[in-house]
Structure 1
Amino acid sequence: MDRLVKPDVKEVELNFKRGQKCSTTFRLNNLMHTMSVAVSLTTTNPSLFSFPQQFSIIPPLSSSSYALLLSQPSDQPPLISPADVIYVRTSMLPTGKAHQDDLRRLFSKPGPHVFRDATIPISFVGPQVVEFLISNHAEVPELSSSLRRAISGCSQSQVTELLNPAIDSGNAYLISTLIDAGADVHGRENSDKGSILSSAVRAGNIEIVKILIASGCEIDDSVDKVLHEASAMNRVDLVEILYKSFSDIDVNLVDSDGRTPIHIAAARGHVGVLRFCLSVGGNADVSDNNGWTPLHFAAAEGHLEAVECLSECSNTKYVVNKEGKTAFALAADNGHSHLLSLLRLDDLLQRAARLDDVHGLKSCIAQGAMVNGRDQNGWTPLHRAAFKGRIECVKVLLNHGALVDVVDDAGFTPLYCAVEAGHVQVALLLIAHGARPNVKSLKGVVPINFDRFKNHPALIHPLNHEKERA
């Protein structure tokens, strides 16, 4: 004979609740056709668990229900490895009747009349158990099996609510397990904090972010400022994966203050994030609600590399905020003297080109001024020197890498400026360095008016020659 009774479960699940006595029930079925069976229930930890009905009698081919009590309330589930178990011992009872004292004596004497019919593991389940496992995952043996058992006692909404503490734990396995158990990744924390993906980005765990994206988690631009959050943390890896994963994500999206991710990165000096956002269409010229551009923020905080990066692609050095201050003024106000040269050198270079100050021009270039830097109208120093006919300055600029066919905001090249101002020798010099008479710009082709050069045959010939080549 294999056994006298059979339990209806492979393990008993106890839904744990902090500070409360909890209980669960299970059934035992008598497999004997003609004889009653006496039953004794014990556990490996009798100080923790108890049975209101420790001894009982089950009639032939009948079943009985039993309650298991957690008799000592606790603030945390008493998880151990291996788990506590229930021992089910049985004995045939030919008379079918016996008092509790008789049953106690029956099972107190070991012998062949007593069978150990079943050993049933005790599992703690429910959201509070999962929370405990999440917060103590490094200390809990056999986390995988314990977690799966604990989740079995949770509803879908409870499993979904557990995603946030799992994200805070930084354990990607926990997230995957919860999602496999039915957690809804499309749910939202609340109207202010946005999607579960926002929580993952704020936690900074790229593996969890990847899992959520792969599970179909979506974002809402009106609430989820994930690029702003990743930019604030200098996580260019997160910015990149978010940008590549969502086709409609916008690197120029503004938050409630009118700031883009570029503003956020500039204010913190996060150059890697700046360069990535700018490389995928980010606009460094946007002003926030207070009129601050990214350059204002970088200059105010003294971030040299960020100022250099923005100066290369932004034309906002002369923009004033609502307080009437430029980036230079903010840097000066905050004592960032190391930025003053960078923020003013280009101005000095433009001034030297205008005044034909060759020495000053060379000095600015030697100090790091940008030869192809632009003013508020898009003019480079070469535009200004050509327009003023400063041939020596033009030579210096060309020898130091000035772009000969660069166009200003109106689509004009330095050659056009020289010709319009009637500076023949400057125009010839520019042509000798490859300047073309018809340069295409965003405004189309801006042709040079040849009629004004009737008195300058030395200029008309090379211009016509260049025109034919063009």
Structure 2
Amino acid sequence: RGHLVLLDSGISVNRADPTDGRTLLASAAHAGSADVTDLLLSRGADPLISDHQGQTPLTLSARQGHVRVLGMMLDWARGLELEAGMGMVEHADSEGWTALRSAAWGGHTEAVHLLLDAGADVDGCDAEGRSALRAAAWGGHEEILLTLLDHGAQVDKVDREGRTPLIAAAYMGHREAVEILLDHGAEVDLADGDGRTALSVAALCVPTAAGVKGYGEVASLLLERGADPGHRDQDGMTPLLLAAYEGHEEVVELLLEAGADVDESAGPHAAAASAAVTPLLAAAAMGHSATVGRVLFWGAAVDGIDGEGRTALSLAAARGSVEVVRALLDRGLDENHKDDLGWTPLHAAACEGHRGVCAVLTERGSMARVGEMDIEGRTPLILAAQEGHCGTVRLLLDRRSLIDHRAYDGHSALSAAALEGHAEVVELLMRRGTDTDVRDAEGRPLLYLLVLEGHLDMAALIMEKGGVPLESRDGEGRTALHVASWQGKLEAVGLLLSNGADPNTQDGEGRPPLHSVAWRGHVEPGRLLLEVRGVNVDLACRQQGATALSIAAQEGHANIVAMLLERGANPDHIDKYGRSPVKVAGKRGHFTIVRLLESYGAKPYSVRLPPSNTRSPRSPTVKSPSSACSGSNGARAGLHHGASTSTSSASCSPGSPGSTAEHFHSIQSSQTSSSTAHSQATVQTVPADSLSFTQQIQQHSLPRCRSRHSTLPPPSSAHGSLHGTSHRSQCPKASPPPPTLCTVTAMVHDSEKPYEGSPAGLDYPSKHKPPRLIQEERSQYGGGRWNSVMASLGVTPGQDGPKNRDSLPMGYPYQLQSPAQRETWEENRKMSITPGSPCVVAMTTTDPQLNLKQAIKLQFEGPTSAALYKRETPL
């Protein structure tokens, strides 16, 4: 009556539930309500409407076995045209289930009869090729099997995986279904796509509570009907091996009685690891003690090994089966046998944490040795500690296992447990007195490794328990604090400092942790280091003399630079190459840092001339130290391209506050001046055209005790002959000032072709000469005079190279070398200029004692100089 009220209220009879798409008719059919179904059909409900899963009222009633409702649906289908009616009967849902297959799977015999009488296809399949007969065999519905077979169903019809109804019935352990199919002509040894027959799957299946007895009966029936007990699948597995793996003791017995070989193996068709597996090894590996006993009773060989060299005892120990281990020990198996990895049964049990097996193997009367090592030098104790098996570790320690044994990688039980984060094992080992100063094969200490891997909780635990050396170093002298600083781990830096780590500790190159944060730009770790009392911000590395400020300036880390300056870092520190933080920052283009350094009192940055865009060489620009003098006001003159001297109010004192930038602008202004100005100094200035490149270098390389104002004869402008008069600069009662700037142009690489054996001429093997240079002065002097001047500087004459279109030699015929010894090729590489274009090179020599070798090295530093500070070796 309630349904009538709903329908009379105007609700559509075909209204569907939005959640599952089922109509009122589909819901009634699924529930088996025949009266409601009849009412809805009389009101015009459409039985062809499917829900979201493609199920119609007919398929829903067939799946549930509601025969009366199914009959109503079939009667309604008969009223349609033949094609439409059959389409309704053969309709399949989204998973391919037809009404007949659904009824057969559910065991609804009467529904199957109704559908077959309505013309349903007895061999109709879903998308996977599974028919109604296979569904009935899977469910073990004998009556439906007989009905379908009587209606002509194919007994050996296979699905897409090659499985027949017989294989499905055997897999599920349905003996009666197997017998029906065999009686109707099913082939007993027909294999599926994996090469398995009905006997193979009967041996493979894990017994259920309902079918535990059926598997033995199915195997027995199949063997009686002629099934092959030695059949191998595609993996080389026989029914006996499969039954042994699954622990089917009864099936194993039947197969052995049928003639199966108790020591058969998987053979060459199997994977390498299982090729030599026998039934005993298979049962032992799975811990099936009853099956192990059965194959041992049938005379299985106990000395067999698998493809990885493991015996049955090793496999049983790894599984943790105490019963199997005892049974095999009673049969005399070697408890110290090693597999291909060098593992004994005790290694296998310890790694898996099977404390009971370890106890059996190490108990009195057993010969298992707790100190045996595998191929990597690890003992069972190390394996147990690495896996975090605290109980097993305690047992092995009680059995006198060496607590501080080191594997070949240098790790002990402590480091193995700590690096895996097993705190309980670490505490146990430390209570037992283990050595905490552990290093791996690369010499890295435990605390170093914990910080490197990010195990800070474990690092804190070890430091809390005491005994771990905070200053332990790796092969390059780096500590855990170096590691934390390099990685920028603020928590790790704080942890180490709070436990007393020294912020001034230096590695083998003399680099403290501050250098690491300066390299990487880690602001917060750097701030933490600088807050420690007593930290030395001006520690310099040994090789290049760089401080943290120098490195941060080079790398462009302005925040680090600011912090270091606030903590009192020296902004004018000079490294071993004469470079200050201002210079290295300027060379890398970090002008914000340059201004920051200058604001803290650093000497102003030396402005350089920009690189030329032409290859034609120019006359060198020289600021001769002989142009400085003393007087009432003092004068400093700069010459450029032979220009006359100009007056300057700058003092001649070496400590004059006048910046190089101001001096540069004064030189520029002197070039545009139309009048010739004369210096008020009492000394004579040397014209720029009078100075050759070698004379400039020679002048800057003179020792302090010698006069830097030696006679420099200018060359003849016409024929290159020397002038007869000399120009000697005089500066009475005044020590010569140190050279400040020597800017040399007209230096060009021979870039016509790359050097032999080097890519693009950048790498120079030891058998080749370094880059050659062009000097304009070469064409102004006679050969003898030029050679004598260069010889005085330790430069060896060579052969003239080819000429370019400007009649200048393309190959510089001299090889630079110091007066003491020849430059190494590696040093010449560092000195080289970028090939292919002329460039302007500034040489700033702040140290008056700078020798020729250092002067040359500094002169040839380009914007991408190879003499940048050496980065730390990666961790």
Q: TM-score range with shorter-chain normalisation?
A: 0.3 to 0.5
What is the TM-score when the length of structure 1 is the normalising length? 0.47
What is the TM-score when the length of structure 2 is the normalising length? 0.26
Relative to its length, the structure with more strand (as a share) is 1
Which structure has the larger Rg? 2
